[in-house]
């Protein structure tokens, strides 16, 4: 027989709640043998935590019936870990909740970023619209100038206010590029005048070859293009001044070159607002239709502002 005492009585780690059968809690108490008593069958396997008794041996060479203990082990694992009682000891609801929250947070971040991008773009466009009148790419383009027309009259930037002036820099002896660009500008002006009437745009030709391009020569040259063209020339200093203000590249020929030379220059049309400020430019890559569309957009915006 065993001698029992309160100190030798201890609760086991196995407290089963069988809600399906008895709806009662059953607690087992294991009685430890007295040190001097005959050895009893090893009951330590019953005291091991459930997760250690799922399969295999209990460490003392005793095999266990996993089929009879699986249900109890599963319930205790679920009770110990807060699981769903499936024996796995893990919860699937937590990770799904975190994924859902992360997804919602991501969608909110994307939506917020989109709204900020739209607001920032609107702000930038307004700032660009107000600053583009005076500069392009952070560099001021345009400014006061004084030149001579084909009637040998002095012409300044003030004479073009009230119209959309389109300035083209070239020279009358240009073999191919200048005539092509002048034809393109003529076609665009014709289309603009057909829609809005004459007087709303003013094409201007400024020579970068003052040595050969006299007022008379420029007048004869412009006869092949739109009749409203104004031709301007001047001294080397005057041409150097206006080309510098509009950031136009041009090469001054050597004094010993005689009259047989070609002037290298930028192929750009510069658009001045009726207020006299620079607002746009068109390169060689644009055709007459594209130039017309861009000019039309500026004209429509200007006319809307006058309403």
DSSP-derived secondary structure for 220-269? HHHTTS-TT-EEEE--HHHHHHHHHHTT--B-PPPGGGTT-----B--EE
Residue 140 domain-assigned (yes or no): yes
CB 223 within 8 A of CB 136: no
Token pair of 252 as six digits: 């001054």
pLDDT of residue 118: 64
Residues 6+ apart with CB under 8 A from 157: 142, 143, 144, 145, 272, 276
Is 178 in a helix, a strand, or coil? Answer: helix
Torsion angles phi and psi, residue 155, rounded to 5: -125, 135
pLDDT of residue 123: 57
Place of tokens 């063209």: 229
Same domain for 211 and 293, yes or no, is yes
Same domain for 157 and 278, yes or no, is yes
Q: What pLDDT, in 10s, does the model give residues 32-87?
A: 444 444 444 444 434 344 444 434 444 444 444 444 444 444 444 433 444 444 44
Query: Residue 268's Cα: distance from chain center in Å?
Result: 29
Which of 144, 221, 189 minimizes the C-alpha distance to 296? 189
Of the residues 104, 131, 158, which one is the last residue of a structural domain?
131
Residue 44 domain-assigned (yes or no): yes
Same domain for 62 and 121, yes or no, is no
Has 178 been labeled as part of a binding site?
yes
Looking at the structure of the chain, the number of domains it has is: 3
Beta bridge partners of 10: 30
Same domain for 269 and 238, yes or no, is yes
Q: For every one of its 307 residues, what pLDDT tens digit does the chain have, with 9 covering 90 and above?
A: 444 444 444 444 444 444 444 444 434 444 444 444 444 444 443 434 444 443 444 444 444 444 444 444 444 443 344 444 444 444 445 555 767 777 777 777 787 776 766 666 655 554 444 444 444 556 789 999 999 999 999 999 999 999 999 999 999 999 999 999 999 999 999 999 999 999 999 999 999 999 999 999 999 999 999 999 999 999 999 999 999 999 999 987 777 667 888 899 999 999 999 999 999 999 999 999 999 999 999 999 999 998 8
Token pair of 179 as six digits: 């005539």
Q: State the Cα–Cα distance between residues 271 and 132, nearest whole angstrom.
A: 12
Please give the DSSP secondary-structure letter assigned to residue 57: B
How far is residue 194 from each of residues 161, 197, 294, measured CA to CA in Å? Answer: 21, 6, 16
Has 27 been labeled as part of a binding site?
no
Phi-psi region at 5: left, alpha or beta (left = phi > 0; alpha = psi -120 to 50): beta
Beta bridge partners of 87: none
Same domain for 181 and 293, yes or no, is yes
Torsion angles phi and psi, residue 271, rounded to 5: -105, 130
Of the residues 78, 112, 131, which one is the last residue of a structural domain?
131
Residue 225 domain-assigned (yes or no): yes
Please give the DSSP secondary-structure letter assigned to residue 26: E
Same domain for 151 and 244, yes or no, is yes
Place of tokens 């644009």: 286
The CATH number of residue 242's host domain is: 3.40.30.10
Same domain for 150 and 78, yes or no, is no
Same domain for 151 and 99, yes or no, is no
Burial class from Cβ neighbours inside 10 Å (0-12, 13-18, 19+) for residue 172 reads: buried
Same domain for 294 and 217, yes or no, is yes
Same domain for 64 and 100, yes or no, is no
Residue 1 domain-assigned (yes or no): no
Same domain for 127 and 178, yes or no, is no
Provide the whole-model pTM: 0.57
How far is residue 223 from each of residues 24, 39, 228, 232, measured CA to CA in Å? Answer: 113, 129, 10, 14
- Note down the domain range covering 110: 93-131
How far is residue 117 from each of residues 112, 123, 137, measured CA to CA in Å? Answer: 9, 10, 22
Same domain for 151 and 289, yes or no, is yes
Phi-psi region at 162: left, alpha or beta (left = phi > 0; alpha = psi -120 to 50): left
Of the residues 31, 60, 91, which one is the last residue of a structural domain?
91
Torsion angles phi and psi, residue 135, rounded to 5: -150, 165
Sign of CA dihedral 252, 145, 165, 214: negative
């Amino acid at each position: 027989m065993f001698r029992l005492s309160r100190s030798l009585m201890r609760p086991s780690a196995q407290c089963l709640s069988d809600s399906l059968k008895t709806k009662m809690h059953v607690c087992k108490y294991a009685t430890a043998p007295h040190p001097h008593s005959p050895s009893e069958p090893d009951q330590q396997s019953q005291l091991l935590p459930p997760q250690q008794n799922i399969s295999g041996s209990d460490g003392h060479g005793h095999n266990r019936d996993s089929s009879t203990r699986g249900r109890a082990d599963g319930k205790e694992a679920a009770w110990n870990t807060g699981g769903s009682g499936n024996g796995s000891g893990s919860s699937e609801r937590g990770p799904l909740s975190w994924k859902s929250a992360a997804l919602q947070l991501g969608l909110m971040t994307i939506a917020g970023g989109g709204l900020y991008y739209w607001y920032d773009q609107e702000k930038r466009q307004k700032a660009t619209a107000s600053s583009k009148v005076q500069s392009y790419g952070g560099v001021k383009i345009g400014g006061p100038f004084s030149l001579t027309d084909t009637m040998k009259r002095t012409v300044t930037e003030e004479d073009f206010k009230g119209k959309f002036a389109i300035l083209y820099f070239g020279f009358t002896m240009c073999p191919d590029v200048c005539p092509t660009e002048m034809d393109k500008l003529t076609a665009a002006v014709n289309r603009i005048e057909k829609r809005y009437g004459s007087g709303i745009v003013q094409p201007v030709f400024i020579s970068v070859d003052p040595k050969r391009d006299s007022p008379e020569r420029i007048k004869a040259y412009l006869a092949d293009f739109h009749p409203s063209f104004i031709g301007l020339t001047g001294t080397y200093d005057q041409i150097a001044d206006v080309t510098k203000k509009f950031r136009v590249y041009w090469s001054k020929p050597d004094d010993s070159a005689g009259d047989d030379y070609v002037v290298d220059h930028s192929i750009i049309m510069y658009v001045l607002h009726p207020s006299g400020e620079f607002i746009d430019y068109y390169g060689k890559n644009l055709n007459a239709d594209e130039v017309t569309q861009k000019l039309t957009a500026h004209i429509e915006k200007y006319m809307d502002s006058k309403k």
